[in-house]
């Protein structure tokens, strides 16, 4: 653990140094790059070692980790309630690396080598695992043996009234116009609530399917900005859309696919993943997040449309859904990912 703290302290020092020198080096890209690189590597090293500790220390407890963080953070910073909560979340992540939403966030924040590391340890799976939360994990008995003794944290409230499967995806928030608008995902939603969430900087918005009353469609989603990066929103889907199955429903939408949104420092990519357990109920990858930068997304209501032309979405749809041929450019882009991130179903 000492080594971890050394890495973290070095990263913090490097960050401070970078902050101080920023005005001077902002125009010297090479120096800027090496400074950022140093910070990145230090945090990466820390995380790598924490992961190693986690794999070897089956009885690691949240308390001991928390104490380590607390002592580290208390050098000259008084941690308030929110910061404690954020550390709690980080600890949850460390003990539950399966939550895809966090993993994606981590992939953005740290070097790209980390996810392969997780993958090689067999601790991370895409497909069935994408975005599945703790409840989903607990149901997934086959995974227990692969958790390498990492215990799911003593959970906070697991289920509320509705016992629906939840899936979380990270999508880029709109950069222009009304950035509070949820990303487009091909469905029409109606906002029915917003709430401040303890330990989170940004409020959580609650949406239900516009056709809930008409078609008794139970689909809901929660949209929340990520604390660490407001440019990313965390979208949690619950319930299946049945509105499109109704004979009297509006025009159908394109077949949704499960997705993986892969965010890194400089660009955002959206990678389609076939879902083993549900191949028709989750939002289409191509549509998610495309509202960012879409001028039409500024201002108007958050509801979207069935059967209306969406040039950008269509373009992406074409890229992702242009049949099973392996010739399209997007597939070539994501091919390495697909090869490495083996779906559970393919294994069995």
Partner DNA sequence: TGCATTTGACCTAT
Partner DNA sequence: ATAGGTCAAATGCA
Interacting residues toward DNA by CB under 7 A: 156-162, 180, 188-199, 204-206, 208, 210, 220, 222, 301-303
> Least distance to DNA from the beta carbon of 315, Å?
25
* Bridge partners (DSSP) listed for residue 270: 261
Q: Which residue has the tokens 């003990």?
A: 95
Nearest CA among 345, 348, 289 for reference residue 127: 345
> Cβ closer to DNA: 23 or 157?
157
> Cβ closer to DNA: 220 or 291?
220
Instruction: Return all residues near 323 (Cβ < 8 A) that are at least 6 apart.
Output: none
> Least distance to DNA from the beta carbon of 202, Å?
12
CA–CA distance, 134 with 130 (Å, rounded to integer): 12
> Least distance to DNA from the beta carbon of 213, Å?
9
Tokens (6 digits) for 37: 């690189």
CA–CA distance, 158 with 178 (Å, rounded to integer): 32
> Least distance to DNA from the beta carbon of 131, Å?
14
Using the 8-state DSSP alphabet, how is residue 98 labeled? T
> Cβ closer to DNA: 120 or 194?
194
> Least distance to DNA from the beta carbon of 133, Å?
10
> Cβ closer to DNA: 108 or 200?
200
> Residue 262: helix, strand or coil by DSSP?
strand
Instruction: Return all residues near 8 (Cβ < 8 A) that are at least 6 apart.
Output: 42, 43, 46, 72
* Bridge partners (DSSP) listed for residue 193: 206
> Cβ closer to DNA: 133 or 257?
133
């Amino acid at each position: 653990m000492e080594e971890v703290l050394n890495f973290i302290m070095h990263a913090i020092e490097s960050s401070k140094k970078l902050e101080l020198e920023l005005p001077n080096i902002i125009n010297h890209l090479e120096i800027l790059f090496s400074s950022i690189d140093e910070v990145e590597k230090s945090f990466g090293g820390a995380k790598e070692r924490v992961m190693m500790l986690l794999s070897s220390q089956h009885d690691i407890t949240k308390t001991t980790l928390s104490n380590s963080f607390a002592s580290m953070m208390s050098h000259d910073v008084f941690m308030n309630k929110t910061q404690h909560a954020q550390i709690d979340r980080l600890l949850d992540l460390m003990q539950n690396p399966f939550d895809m939403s966090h993993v994606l966030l981590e992939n953005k924040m740290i070097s790209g080598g980390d996810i392969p590391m997780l993958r090689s340890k067999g601790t991370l799976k895409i497909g069935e695992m994408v975005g599945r939360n703790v409840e989903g994990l607990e149901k997934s008995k086959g995974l227990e043996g692969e958790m390498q003794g990492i215990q799911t944290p003593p959970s906070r409230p697991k289920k509320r009234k509705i016992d629906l499967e939840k899936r979380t995806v990270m999508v880029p928030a709109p950069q222009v116009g009304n950035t509070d608008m949820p990303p487009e995902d091909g469905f029409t939603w109606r906002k029915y609530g917003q709430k401040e969430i303890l330990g989170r900087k940004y409020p959580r918005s609650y949406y239900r399917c516009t056709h809930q009353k008409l078609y008794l469609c139970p689909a809901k989603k929660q949209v929340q900005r990520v604390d660490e990066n407001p440019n990313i929103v965390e979208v949690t889907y619950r319930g299946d859309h049945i509105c499109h199955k109704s004979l009297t429903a509006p025009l159908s939408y394109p077949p949704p696919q499960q997705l993986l949104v892969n965010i890194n420092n400089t660009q955002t990519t959206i990678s389609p993943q076939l879902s083993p357990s549900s191949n028709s109920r989750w939002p289409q990858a191509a549509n998610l997040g495309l509202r960012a930068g879409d001028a039409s997304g500024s201002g108007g209501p958050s509801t979207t449309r069935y059967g209306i032309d969406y040039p950008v979405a269509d373009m992406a749809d074409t890229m992702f859904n242009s049949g099973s041929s392996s010739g399209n450019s997007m597939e070539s882009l994501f091919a390495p990912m697909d090869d490495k991130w083996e779906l559970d179903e393919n294994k069995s």
